[in-house]
Amino acid sequence: MKRKSAKPGGRSINQHVRRKQKLKPSSRRWIERQLNDPYVQRAKREGMRSRAAYKLVEIDDKHGLLAPGKRVIDLGAAPGGWCQVAVERTGSTPEKPLVAAIDYLGMDPVPGVTILEMDFLDEDAPEKLMAALDGAPDIVLSDMAAPTVGHRKTDHMRTMYLVEVAAEFAMEVLRPGGHFLTKTFQGGTEKALLDRLKNHFAKVIHVKPDASRAESVELYLLAKGFKGRA
Ligand SMILES: C[S@@+](CC[C@H](N)C(=O)[O-])C[C@H]1O[C@@H](n2cnc3c(N)ncnc32)[C@H](O)[C@@H]1O
């Protein structure tokens, strides 16, 4: 049978896990999805730590957030794909780090990134993040997602809480003109939070990059042009 080539990967699609292996159907589906996912293949080929990296690449290519010399805070950073993109596009170096990242999961060092291994919801996390940067951030990124417990409404609410805390943090620390990008869910962002963001930023939009799986309710909320604190 003729195999179609995968885009943007280059490896063939429709690979299957051999039946001999004893796997739960859900595990089998997950592995097959990974094997056939062009972004997973591209990440492997290009040395990126996550397929999620391409979501930021796409959003940044279209909306121009990252630039040389900009300071970045990355919330929920492990395994570090977004950090890699931020370092490359800001020109951050170990001598002059421009990127500060936080995750309660450990991650391998990324040269040019100051990594905090702690919960962003800890009281002293904001202060520690700010101390890791030599000045106010130009961009606050959040790809945080709460660990799922399998109860859809609970999972949804826990991630939406992270969105709210990240948004409040961004509005507290961003440099005027700065940007805030966060993962959210379709239909998930509270009107009150959207209104608050619209008051504080020049433009607020939802974006769904191609690298975000079509079947996923995941969506990104982008607030551009922080107007500054009153
Ligand atoms: C989708 S992953 C991030 C992927 C990352 N953007 C990348 O490109 O590699 C979400 C991350 O958010 C982290 N996270 C969730 N809640 C958090 C919290 N309260 N504090 C810190 N990290 C959190 C998780 O541990 C997980 O590593």
Residue 89: give its domain's CATH number.
3.40.50.150
72-109 burial, b at 16+ Cβ within 10 Å, e below that, comes to bbbbbbbbbbbbbbbbebbebeeeebbbbbbbbeebee
Could you report the per-residue pLDDT of 18-36, keeping only the tens digit for each? 656 677 877 777 777 777 7
Residues 174-185: pLDDT tens digits? 999 999 999 998
pLDDT, greater one: 14 or 152: 152
Report the residue among 99, 103, 122, 161 best suited for mutation to probe ligand 1: largest number of ligand atoms under 8 A from its CB. 103
pLDDT at res. 20: 61
Q: At what angle do helices 53-63 and 38-46 cross, to 10 degrees?
A: 90
Cα–Cα dist 38/168, whole Å:
35
Instruction: Tell me how far CA of residue 21 lies from CA of 16, 25, 28, in angstroms.
Output: 11, 11, 9
What pLDDT score was predicted for residue 149?
A: 84
Domain containing residue 91: 53-226
Q: Is the CB of 52 under 6 A from ligand 1?
A: yes
Closest residue by Cα to residue 205 from 53, 51, 63 = 63
Q: Do 90 and 132 fall into the same domain?
A: yes
Are residues 181 and 81 located together in one domain of the fold? yes
Are residues 32 and 72 both part of a single domain?
Answer: no
Q: What is the pLDDT of residue 230?
A: 72
C-beta of 145 in contact with ligand 1 (< 6 A): yes
Same domain, 8 and 77: no
65 in the same domain as 40:
no
Specify whether the CB–CB gap between 111 and 93 falls below 8 A. yes
Same domain membership, residue 28 and residue 87: no
Same domain, 92 and 10: no
Residues 12 and 124 in one domain: no
What angle do the packed helices 53-63 and 81-90 form, to 10 degrees? 40
Q: Which atom of ligand 1 is nearest to the CA of 74?
A: 6
38 and 78 belong to one structural domain: no
Q: Ligand 1 within 6 A of 163 CB? A: no
Using the mean position of ligand 1's atoms as its centre, give its distance from the Cα of residue 78 in Å: 6
Q: Is 165 in the pocket of ligand 1 (CB under 6 A)?
A: no
Q: 77 and 190: one domain?
A: yes
Q: If DSSP codes are grouped into helix, strand and coil, which group holds residue 153?
A: helix
Is 22 annotated as catalytic? Answer: no
Q: Please give the tally of structural domains in the chain.
A: 2
Summarised one tens digit per residue, pLDDT across range 45-85 is 999 999 999 999 999 999 999 999 999 999 999 999 999 99
Residues 109 and 201 in one domain: yes
Instruction: Give me the percent of the chain exceeding a pLDDT of 70.
Output: 91
11 and 61 housed in the same domain? no
Could you tell me the pTM of the whole model?
Answer: 0.88
Annotated binding site for S-adenosyl-L-methionine: 80, 82, 103, 119, 143
Q: Report residue 1's pLDDT band, with 50, 70 and 90 as the boundaries.
A: very low
Angle (deg, nearest 10), helices 152-173 and 191-200: 20
